Structures are given as structure tokens and as C-alpha cells.
Amino acid sequence: MPYDTVSTSNPDLLPVEWSRQVIKEMQESSAVLGLSRRLTMSTRTQVLPASSALARAYWVGGTDSTGLKQTTKNEWKGVYLRVEELACLVAIPHAHMDDNAFPVWEETRPSLVEAMGATLDAAVLFGVDKPLSWPGPIYQSSVLAGNNTVFPTGDDLAQDISESARKLRRQDGYRTTGFAVEPGLQWELVGLRDAQGQPIYQTNLPGAISTGIYGFPLLEAGNGAWDIDEAKIIQGDWSKSIVGIRQDITFTRHDSGVINDDAGVVVYNAMQQDSTIWRAVMRVAWATANPQTRIAQAGGLTDQQRYPFWVIQNGSTYDYS
């Protein structure tokens, strides 16, 4: 779509169909968006109910049918989704924009989507540049709760995966619904062999590579956000990872702007380099729910000892306490 066709009732907003397209493609490039529960938000802050105290049932009792029904309670602890701005800058030379045959938006969108997806994944999974209003990242929170296995622990990766899922269910009361994994892990699974040399990780169809583990989705974080020195796999109940998205994406153009690196050094000057800098701002929120479960309650786990995710580490010895 040519640059000159950008036109909406509010010139600072991407057209609705463009916004939806960006969000849809981000789900494919971002492990967090692809696995997490996603909500459309209409306000800056939204409160979600998460059970913090489980209801309890009693036998009425009494041989003479005079037993009294005991009272119980069901308390709710609020989980806050707080919206933060996620910005992306893309520089487009004027020569490209003046060429009607050059599909500016089609060429720009992939890099914009990948950059935003990488920033979101890095913040949610590993805490890189995470907004202060968001809770602790999944990797560090899992380690602090004791939900971590250092690979290799069992006989092979398949055993580490299944044993971690078993512990998450047996100790914390959470089911594994999906896997966020390091780049290339799917091919590592393909290479696994049993004692007879037969493949352990079977394909769904002849000549095709399956995209899941034990029937649950597997997403490789191939956008550069994954910390391969720390984690190999993050698995858990992804319905407890909640991403809130405002559908309107702000989109502005700057003919005289500059782009600086982290040290403040100018790395791109739109005026001197005959370019226009496109700035897209997406408003997104993220939070995790850690509600009480009956299994964790029976095991005496505290809120700090219970978490809906488990990490298989790449031999990390980093202290997060």
C-alpha cells in the first residue's frame, strides 16, 4: 500500500485493518502473544478477578438431622493489567516512498512486527526493560518459586519435559498448556533417539514436522528475545499469562527526527539522510495470575512457593534472590 494513501479520521492512528494486521502477525512472531490469554482493553487499567481463597464444602453431619450448615467464603484477589506504551521506529528513504511501485507498508510491517514482538517477549519472559508496573517476569518468578530444572537432569530432554510437567501439576496444581522454547529446539527434538535408534519425537504426517509437544503447542522465540544462556524451555499454564491490548495503534511520521542509540549517539538523521521516520506506538499490558489451587493448598505451599510456570534451564547458576 503506497505511503500517500495513509488516511484516517485521526491521522495519528493506523487504519483499523492495519492495526489488526499488526496484532495478528505479532501473535505469530511473539511466543508470549501466541501462547498467552489475550484481552482487548478499553481502559488504561483493568482489574481481573483471580481466586485467592478456595471455597470449602462440609458434611452437615448429625444423626438427628439437626446438623448446622457451616459458613464458607470465596475471596478474590485483584490482578491488575496496566497499559504501557511500546514504541517502534522505522526509517524509510524518500526515494522509496516516491516510488509508487514500492509497497512501503508491506515492506515495513514485518520489521515493525518483529521488533515489537521481540521487545514484548524479552520483557515478559526475562524482564529485559520490563515496565515497572508489570509483575516479575516468568523466568525469574519460576526460579524464585523453585519451579526449575537444570538440563540435563533426567536421561534425556523428553524425560526432563515430562517430569517438569508432572511436578508442576502435582506440587503447584497447574496444568501445562504450552511451551515457549529456545530457537532450534524443535530440531533438537527431531534428533532424539531411543536405545534402538528410533526417533522419539514423531511427526504428525509423513514428511512434515510437528509443532507441539505431547499435543500441546510449542513456539520458538525466534525474534532474538530468548536468553539461550538461561533457559531452554518455559512451560506452564499459559491461561494465567494475560496480555491486554488496546486495538488502536498510534502512527506518526517525522521528516526531521533523529534516532539515538542507548549511549545517546545519533545513528540516524532523517533530515540529513533524506528519509522519514515512522513511529508506531502500541499500548499493551501484561500480568500473571497465581490463584490458589487445591493441590498447592493441600501441600502447604505459600503464594511465593506456587507459580503456574516451570523453567528448564541451560545450566544457569544466576542468583535471583
For residue 309, list its beta bridge partners: 236
Confidence at residue 238, expressed as pLDDT on a 0 to 100 scale: 96
pLDDT score at 246: 78
The amino acid sitting at 189 is L
User: What length does the chain have?
Assistant: 321
Residue 296: all three cell numbers together:
498447592
Which residues pair with residue 180 across a beta bridge?
Answer: 219, 234
Q: Is the pLDDT of residue 312 over 90?
A: yes
* Highest-confidence segment of 59-73, 235-249, 265-279: 235-249
The Cα–Cα gap between 161 and 167 comes to 10
- Domains and their CATH numbers in the chain: 3-49+77-313 (3.30.2320.10)
pLDDT at 321: 43
- 163 has pLDDT over 60: yes
> With pLDDT > 70 as the criterion, what percentage of the chain qualifies?
76
What was the pLDDT predicted at 71?
Answer: 55
Task: Report which secondary-structure segment, H or E, holds 152.
Answer: none
- Residue closest to 221 by CA, chosen among 121, 308, 314: 121
> Does pLDDT of 177 surpass 90?
yes
pTM of the model: 0.80
Ranked by mean pLDDT, which of 67-76, 143-152, 241-250 comes out on top?
A: 143-152
For residue 22, the model assigns a pLDDT of 79
* 90-137 pLDDT tens trace: 887 877 766 656 666 677 777 888 888 999 999 999 999 999 999 999
Alpha helices of 82-126 — where are they, by DSSP H? 94-97, 104-126
Task: Give the integer Cα–Cα distance in Å for 293 and 266.
Answer: 52
Question: What is the pLDDT averaged over residues 25-48?
Answer: 84
Q: What is the mean pLDDT of residues 204-216?
A: 63
Residue 173 exposed, middle or buried by CB count within 10 Å (0-12, 13-18, 19+): buried
